[in-house]
Amino acid sequence: MFNIRTDLAVESREIYKEAYKEEVPGVDIETEESENYTITRVTINNEEGEKKLGKARGTYINIDVPGLKNTDQELKDEISKVFAKELKSICKNDENTKTLIVGLGNWNITPDALGPKVVDKVLVTRQFFVAYNKERDETVANVSAISPGVMGLTGIETGEIVKGVVEKIKPDLVIAIDSLASRRMERVSTVIQISNTGINPGSGIGNKRIGLTEEYLKVPVIAVGVPTVVDAATMVNDTMDLIISSMKKQAKVGTDFYSLLDDISKEEKYSLIKEVLEPFMPNVVVTPKEIDILIEDLSIIIANGLNMALHHGIGLEDVNKYIR
């Protein structure tokens, strides 16, 4: 996919459509619009779809909330509930499901700290099931949570730590929370992606080499992510495209120019940008300066949604009640 760095399936599809002017074959799209948000469900059905989008087969739900950067408590609560509903639909969990929440990322690097921050806020209950030696409870399900850290801090692949814990505590379901990279700055902290494909090597900010997938962990893995960074080269690339198309529309320059720009293929252009930027900023990913506040808000929205989706006794009306 032209090496454009994105962890969002909707962006992969967007890039494909921009390039080929057609919908991606082997992929179903479903859109649901509301006043404050749009839900897009991208389902990759077969190998062709996998190859075209460069993403694993499965369903990717994107909740896109342009206004999420603002401090509107009602909107936040609304999105917690929407997220809870979508998560529950994809997890297919019930009161007997034992869930392990995994907060991926580095707690010392703010844009990478979403996962650990969610783990710190979510309601965990497994210890009571163990202490009272019971299998089920009237109001809560069996939920545990870990923040394994990143390889740079631990010296250990995140996947190995999670697998070690999964083998010990044997959950029925793993939900992994991660910070993602997007191609566009306006998507940073405004999109929540939920997918049933797990987390694949190289995705997220932390460049994992072992994935967190059902194949590896032997339990279903749901991935929840929010873009918190943009790859600088991607940002420059996309802006140049916008500029060229803007110049075309405004006919600010002669006609020869267009044909010349069309001569440079997309791949060529992107690698040119990479080459030029490399000496100055090797693999720079950038983040908005308000990221501390954005991550704090997002971690509450997601922890809230997890509480409502996982525990049968916690309803949508209980938003904010069980946040630590």
- CB 240, min distance to its own copies, A: 6
Q: How many Cβ atoms are within 10 Å of 132's Cβ, its own excluded?
A: 8
Considering only CA atoms, give the Rg of the chain: 21
Among 22, 35, 256, 317, binds its own copies (CB under 8 A): 256
To the nearest 10 degrees (0 to 180), the angle between helices 291-310 and 114-121 is 50
The region, left, alpha or beta by phi > 0 then psi within -120 to 50, assigned to residue 5 is beta
- CB 322, min distance to its own copies, A: 8
Which residues are within 8 A (CB) of 83 and not within 5 positions of it... i.e. 6 or more apart? 63, 192, 194, 301, 302, 305, 309
- CB 207, min distance to its own copies, A: 11
- CB 179, min distance to its own copies, A: 9
Bridge partner list, 31: 40
In order of 58, 71, 74, 286, the CA distances from 67 in angstroms are: 28, 9, 11, 21
CB 194 within 8 A of CB 187: no
| Contact positions with its own copies (CB under 8 A) in 92-111 | 107-111
Nearer to its own copies, 148 or 225 (CB): 148
Size of the residue set binding its own copies (CB under 8 A): 84
Nearer to its own copies, 224 or 230 (CB): 230
Question: Counting beta carbons within 10 angstroms of the beta carbon of residue 259, is it exposed (0 to 12), middle (13 to 18) or buried (19 or more)?
Answer: exposed
Nearer to its own copies, 58 or 148 (CB): 148
| Contact positions with its own copies (CB under 8 A) in 179-208 | 184-186, 205
The verdict on 210 binding its own copies (CB under 8 A) reads no
CB 44 within 8 A of CB 26: yes
CB 276 within 8 A of CB 270: no
| Contact positions with its own copies (CB under 8 A) in 276-295 | 276-277, 280-281, 284-293
Nearer to its own copies, 196 or 287 (CB): 287
Among 80, 144, 197, 234, binds its own copies (CB under 8 A): 144
The verdict on 137 binding its own copies (CB under 8 A) reads no
Among 89, 96, 207, 320, binds its own copies (CB under 8 A): 320
The verdict on 34 binding its own copies (CB under 8 A) reads no
The verdict on 265 binding its own copies (CB under 8 A) reads no
- Considering only 34-42, 48-56, 192-200, 315-323, which stretch makes contact with its own copies by CB under 8 A? 315-323
